[in-house]
A and B are shown apart, each in its own frame.
Chain A
Amino acid sequence: MLRVEGISVSYGAVQALSDVSLDVPPGRVTAVIGANGAGKSTLMRSLAGLVKPQAGRVTFEGEDITGRKPEDVARMGIALVPEGRSTIPDLTVEDNLKLGGMWRSHTQRGTSLNRVYALFPVLGERRSLGADTLSGGERQQLAIGRALMCGPQVLLLDEPSLGLAPLIVTQILELVSQMAKDSGLAVLLVEQNAATALRVAKTGIVLNLGQIVKSGPAQEIAQDEELRHAYLGY
């Protein structure tokens, strides 16, 4: 569905990504893992349109979307949940959610909103409160909820576990994996916490210093001890 072909990205003199290719198929979670600075976030940002690659192509359903603006990419059906708490604390929880998918029809948005509240009940409880009243894990839920409001076909999750307790991380990731299976959503998950990521993913891609080191079934990668020691820190 989402295909990345040989993209390279550099920030000035620093080469963040070199010739990276991967596929993000629907209905499952694809995990990109690697140490800090491996280039994972850069990958996500280029897919979402925040960064323009110097070389390579990104296609979505066959259409070339390389270098398109983020708002256009979002409207095409690719939603990024960026690293860090990407919620707007000055707005209410519900407003944060309603921010997503404004181009969609009223009915579509209504359905999506109900779905989000069903998936994340705590958001429904606090819908009129300011987003700054939420805890870390709740804000992550809110961020994902906003992305879901865009009615995406591809969901890009950038390091959702950052700063969250392991239990919550597991909950969220399993929820996402379930969503993928149920609705055919294509999920690209970028994570430093490789173990948890590989547990929910179908395919694993290991990134190091901007290059792909290994790619294959998640279980294989999880059991490859040498690989884990070398690139994943465990």
Chain B
Amino acid sequence: MIDFIDYFLGGISSGAIIALLALALVLVWRSTRVVNFAQLGQAMFTTYIALTVRDLTNSWIIGLVVAMAAGLVVGVFVHFLVIRPVKRLDTSGAIIATFGVLIALEALAAMIWGGDPEAFPPPINNSGYELFGRTWPFSPYDLLVLVSVIVLVLALSLVFTRTSVGLAMRASAFNPEVARLSGVRVSRMLVLGWAIAGLVGAVAGVLVAPLSTLSPTSFDIFLVFAFTAAVIGGLDSLVGAVAFGIGTGLVIALVSGYSDSSNAPLVALVLLVLNLLFKPEGVFSHHKARAV
């Protein structure tokens, strides 16, 4: 039983981060009907920027803030690169283009910062709390991660449900034509969606970096986890992304704990396959994933 609690606690931070990354994917999907496979490349890139800034200023917070700004900018940039030039990209074209961006970003990061894994120091203590005479696999840093994710998700949901901008973004995603007829500048809302996704991804990247190492390809596996979570929740559902993001993180932690950590990608793959076989549109969604 203690083992279970340990693995569970260990999975909370990664679950929270996967939730953020899945959220970013869903944000982009809802606004432009494209899965931005480059999203995690963008997160990796902005995390490198955060590390550089942090080393220059000795402040994690400044690094985080700069990364968030960079996330916005990169998100907008990639949006214009992939979505704008061709109004009606065939689906394959858009998918391939996002992979092109991913490849280019990983190569660029390696050229600028080198391909070797780097350590990203956590801003606060990363060793587990000591309670009741044992060390629990949950540290002050894990708490920070959890709190940050909760705050960000709450902030986003408030923006979406209570503000005009949020309403405009939601409407643009659900029915762009009606939104335009109502005077909403839909194309701007799409850009905003990508920008926010970039910001969310940047935060996720900075939060996850101290938990492992940072290298140009270190986020590839998270792409699989985040995509799995997003799909299971339903690509249209922000709530689903968060819920199943945490769920995926916990499942992976449990599996890694009870068997072996190299099983993690396989587990994600199995979950993905099961979901796509039986409920491809996701648990919380309206739309169809199947062809014809």
Stretch at the interface among A19-27, A99-107, A175-183, A198-206: A99-107
CB atoms of A150 and B164 under 8 A apart: no
A69 to B170, CA, bound (A): 20
Q: Do B183 and A74 have beta carbons less than 8 Å apart?
A: yes
Of the candidates B167, B181, B183, the one whose C-beta lies within 8 Å of that of A82 is B181
Contact with B along A68-96 (1 / 0, CB 8 A): 01110011000110100011101100010
Q: Does B182 contact A (CB under 8 A)?
A: yes
Contact of B179 among A75, A99, A149 (CB under 8 A): A99
Q: How many Å from the CB of A195 to the closest CB on chain B? A: 28
A57: Cβ under 8 A from any B Cβ: no
How far in angstroms is the closest Cβ of chain A from B239? 13
B169-188 with Cβ < 8 A to chain A? 170-171, 174-175, 177-186
Of B167, B170, B178, B181, most A-chain CB atoms within 10 Å: B181
**Contact A75–B183 (Cβ < 8 Å):** yes
* A99 and B174 contact, CB distance less than 8 A: no
CA distance in complex: A218, B246 (Å): 64
* Cβ proximity bits A100-138 to B, threshold 8 Å, 1 near / 0 not: 111100000000000000000000000000000000000
Measured between alpha carbons, how far is A189 from B141 in the docked complex, in Å? 63
Q: Would you call B168 and A102 a contact (CB within 8 A)?
A: yes
Residues from chain B with Cβ under 8 Å of A101 in the complex: 182-183
Chain B residues near A103: list those with CB within 8 A: 183
Q: Which of A74, A82, A88 contacts B171 (CB 8 A)?
A: A88
CB of A71 within 8 A of CB of B174, answer no
Residue of B nearest to A103 (CB): B183
At the interface, yes or no: A146 with Cβ under 8 Å from chain B?
A: yes
- Which size class do B's interface residues fall under? 10 to 19
B contact face: mostly helix, strand, loop, or mixed: helix
Query: Which residues on A sit within 8 Å (CB–CB) of B171?
Result: 88, 91, 99
Q: Which of B178, B180, B183, B186 contacts A88 (CB 8 A)?
A: B178
Contact B181 A79 (CB under 8 A): yes
Contact A71 B184 (CB under 8 A): yes
Taken residue by residue from 140 to 151, chain B's Cβ proximity to chain A (1 for < 8 Å, 0 otherwise) reads as: 000000000000
A70 to B183: give the CA distance in the assembly, Å. 7
C-alpha gap A147/B175 in the complex (Å):
15
A88, B164: Cβ atoms closer than 8 Å: no
Residues of B within 8 A of A95 (CB): 167, 170
| B177 cross-chain contacts in A, Cβ below 8 A | 50, 70, 82, 86
**Is the CB of A98 closer than 8 A to any CB of chain B?**
yes
Contact A74 to B180, CB < 8 A, known contacts A88-B175, A102-B164? yes
Residue among A70, A75, A80 having the largest count of chain B Cβ atoms under 10 Å? A70
Minimum CB–CB distance for A45 against chain B, Å: 10
> Do the beta carbons of B181 and A98 come within 8 Å of each other?
no
Cβ contacts under 8 Å, A86 to chain B: 175, 177-178, 181
- Residue on A with the closest CB to B161? A95
Q: Which of A74, A90, A102 makes the CB contact (< 8 A) with B181?
A: A74
Question: Is A48 in the interface zone, CB < 8 Å from B?
Answer: yes
Q: Are A98 and B180 in contact (CB under 8 A)?
A: no
- The 3 A-B residue pairs with the shortest CB-CB distance, nearest first, are A74-B183, A70-B180, A100-B182
- Other A-B pairs beyond A147-B181, A150-B183, 8, CB < 8 Å: A71-B183, A71-B184, A80-B181, A82-B181, A90-B286, A98-B164, A98-B167, A99-B168
Binding site for B on A (CB under 8 A): 48, 50, 69-71, 74-75, 79-80, 82, 86-88, 90-91, 95, 98-103, 146-147, 149-150
27 residue pairs from A and B, CB less than 8 Å apart: A48-B181, A71-B180, A71-B181, A71-B183, A71-B184, A71-B185, A74-B182, A80-B181, A86-B177, A86-B181, A90-B170, A91-B167, A95-B170, A98-B167, A99-B168, A99-B178, A99-B179, A99-B184, A100-B182, A100-B183, A101-B183, A102-B167, A102-B182, A102-B183, A147-B181, A149-B182, A150-B183
Interface residues of B (CB under 8 A from A): 164, 167-168, 170-171, 174-175, 177-186, 286
